[in-house]
Structure 1
Amino acid sequence: MSAFSAIGEEQERDRNEYTPGVEPQPTWCPGCGDFGVLKALKGAAAELGLSPEEMLVCTGIGCSGKLNSYFESYGFHTIHGRELPIARAAKMANDGLTVIAAGGDGDNYGIGGNHFMHTARENHDLTHIVFNNEIFGLTKGQTSPTSPKGHKSKTQPHGSAKDPIRPLSMSLNAGASYIARTAAVNPNQAKDIIVEAIEHDGFSHVDFLTQCPTWNKDAKQYVPYIDINESEDYDIDVNDRRSASEMMYETENALHEGTVLTGRYYIDDERLSYQQEKKRIGEMPDEPLAERYFDDDYEWERSHDMWLDKHK
């Protein structure tokens, strides 16, 4: 009997199934955009019919790191900026899991930026949700990689002298095969985008604008917002890199000028995921590696034996 027999069962799910009994009520500040991420993720999981046992949520440090405490599934609370390598390893060991990596803009675009770049480059099959509130919230309001130039904070009392990171453009240049931006104030779009991101085979990057009413009052509520895929004022071909790049550049400029653009920016359904590439070249088995721990008849392979044989 498989230890992962829950994986693959199609069942109707209710969003309340993803509310844990131990810590059901989030302790985020009133008005925090993180509530929007939790709501969207619950709605997406229910729409996809995923059981909590089919999902793993890896989080970093910060207010966003509490997500796996408030979402009923397997969870791994890592250290600063390290949710992506843990998520990658879990997906490699059990390809049947739906793996979500979630963290803040400081965690993923700053402290863990190198992991972000190479996870996108390798196109690992997981969904990466970045809580982007343009501030370090848990540590009480320091300037983050996405804080706008001139933003005043405890660490930059005279205003930041640095230009902010362009997360969408950075993701495209690094190699992500699904890139979108949504906002906590747009719950329906957020849920639909997370559904698409989970269904996509490859690295899905969702830049999720989450207002911080306590420590970043400049960002307010990220409203009004415009969906670039529905608006007649914007023209984008999400399957074309040049079109996506131009729209991303406009979006990242507009945000700090008071216009919030959201939507799907780039989708490449043709590119193989890292897991698929590894299987193609014979370096990853079709069955989950994790299954071997529950197979008494499996004859374990030792990598050192392979190298020793070559030197005999």
Structure 2
Amino acid sequence: MSAFSAIGEEREIDRDEYTPGVEPQPTWCPGCGDFGVLKALKQALPEVGRTPEETLLCTGIGCSGKLNSYLDSYGFHTLHGRSLPVARAAKLANPGLEVIAAGGDGDGYGIGGNHFTHTARENHDMTYIVFNNEIFGLTKGQTSPTSPKGHKSKTQPHGSAKEPVKPLSLSLNAGASYVARTAAVNPNQAKEILIEAMEHDGFAHVDFLTQCPTWNKDARQYVPYIDVNDSDDYEFDVTDRVEAAEMMRTTEEALYKGEVLTGRFYVDEERPSYQQEKQAIGEMPDEPLAERYWDDDYEWERSYDHFLDKHA
């Protein structure tokens, strides 16, 4: 029997399956927005039809890195900023897995920023959730890439002199084919967006606003919020890159003025994923690479054999 026989098994899935049998006591602070991410993810996965055996959650370092300790699925706690390359490798080896990467704003937009831009550029088929609380939380309150200009912290006692990273615009310009923003204070929208992100074939980036009541007391609690897809004040085509870019810029500037805009900003269902592109040029087999480890009759290939043939 293959180790991957659970993938594709059709059965009803209960969200409680994603709660560990011996549930660890969460170490997130009371009022932390990270609880909202966990709840939305537990609600979304059964809706997508994924079992814990079909799910891999790769996390970085930080408060967000504890997510896979509280979700009963396959998990990989990676190095700081390195959740995406691990997630990419897993998805390439076994495309049947539902691969989710998660990290904080410092983890994803700072330390792992290069992996973020290139994973988006290549359009790997996975979901990337970034816990955006505008601060380094686990290390106790340093300025992060999304902290607003003028924000005072231990590392910037006189206030940050830098403009914050615009994550939605960065994602779109890098090449992500699904870009959305939601907030821990909006659980229904969060669940719907995570469902769409996981069902999307390509790189789905979800900027998840998560309040930090301990180390970022000056930040808004991201309420009240406006869903740009339901509001008559904001009309744009989520499939049009130009209109999406304009809406993203409006959204990112409004956040630091106290107006919280959330929703889907860009969706491209036509662009092939990285896996599909590689299969189209014959550089990736149709069957999962991981299956080969369980096939005693498989004749292993070595990449250097191809180069030797060309130069012999």
Name the TM-score, length of structure 1 as normaliser: 0.99
Range that drifts further, 126-135 or 3-12: 3-12
> How far, CA to CA, are the matches of 1:218 and 1:237 in structure 2?
34
> How far, CA to CA, are the matches of 2:284 and 2:25 in structure 1?
40
User: 1:278 matched to which residue of 2?
Assistant: 278
Secondary structure in 2 matching 1:17: helix
Asked if 1:247 is matched to 2:243, the reply is no
Deviation at 1:14, TM superposition (A): 1.3
Asked if 1:74 is matched to 2:74, the reply is yes
Contact 1:212 1:220 in 2 (8 A): no
Deviation at 1:306, TM superposition (A): 1.4
Letter in 2 for 1:222: Y
Q: Percent identity?
A: 81
User: 1:225 matched to which residue of 2?
Assistant: 225
Range that drifts further, 146-155 or 16-25: 16-25
Contact 1:10 1:50 in 2 (8 A): no
Contact 2:54 2:98 in 1 (8 A): yes
> How far, CA to CA, are the matches of 2:305 and 2:8 in structure 1?
35
Aligned residues: 312
Asked if 1:310 is matched to 2:310, the reply is yes
4+ runs of 1 displaced by more than 4 Å? none
Name the TM-score, length of structure 2 as normaliser: 0.99
> How far, CA to CA, are the matches of 1:190 and 1:11 in structure 2?
24
User: 1:213 matched to which residue of 2?
Assistant: 213
User: 2:170 matched to which residue of 1?
Assistant: 170
Q: Can you list the C-alpha shifts for 1:19-58, whole angstroms capped at 9, x where unaligned?
A: 1124443220000000000001000001112110100000
Secondary structure in 2 matching 1:127: strand
Deviation at 1:275, TM superposition (A): 0.4
User: 2:157 matched to which residue of 1?
Assistant: 157
Contact 2:220 2:258 in 1 (8 A): no
Note the 1:1-312 alignment, pairs <5 A.
1-312=1-312
Range that drifts further, 192-201 or 302-311: 302-311
Q: Give structure 2 stretches of 5+ with no counterpart.
A: none
Letter in 2 for 1:100: I
> How far, CA to CA, are the matches of 2:232 and 2:46 in structure 1?
32
Deviation at 1:63, TM superposition (A): 0.1
Secondary structure in 2 matching 1:139: coil
> How far, CA to CA, are the matches of 1:228 and 1:149 in structure 2?
25
Contact 1:182 1:262 in 2 (8 A): yes
Contact 1:19 1:70 in 2 (8 A): yes
Letter in 2 for 1:61: I
Deviation at 1:221, TM superposition (A): 1.4
Letter in 1 for 2:249: Y
> How far, CA to CA, are the matches of 1:22 and 1:115 in structure 2?
34
> How far, CA to CA, are the matches of 2:213 and 2:14 in structure 1?
30
> How far, CA to CA, are the matches of 1:204 and 1:307 in structure 2?
36
Secondary structure in 2 matching 1:87: helix
> How far, CA to CA, are the matches of 1:153 and 1:121 in structure 2?
33
> How far, CA to CA, are the matches of 2:192 and 2:24 in structure 1?
24
> How far, CA to CA, are the matches of 1:220 and 1:226 in structure 2?
14
Letter in 2 for 1:265: F
Letter in 2 for 1:306: H
> How far, CA to CA, are the matches of 1:19 and 1:198 in structure 2?
19
Contact 1:128 1:206 in 2 (8 A): yes
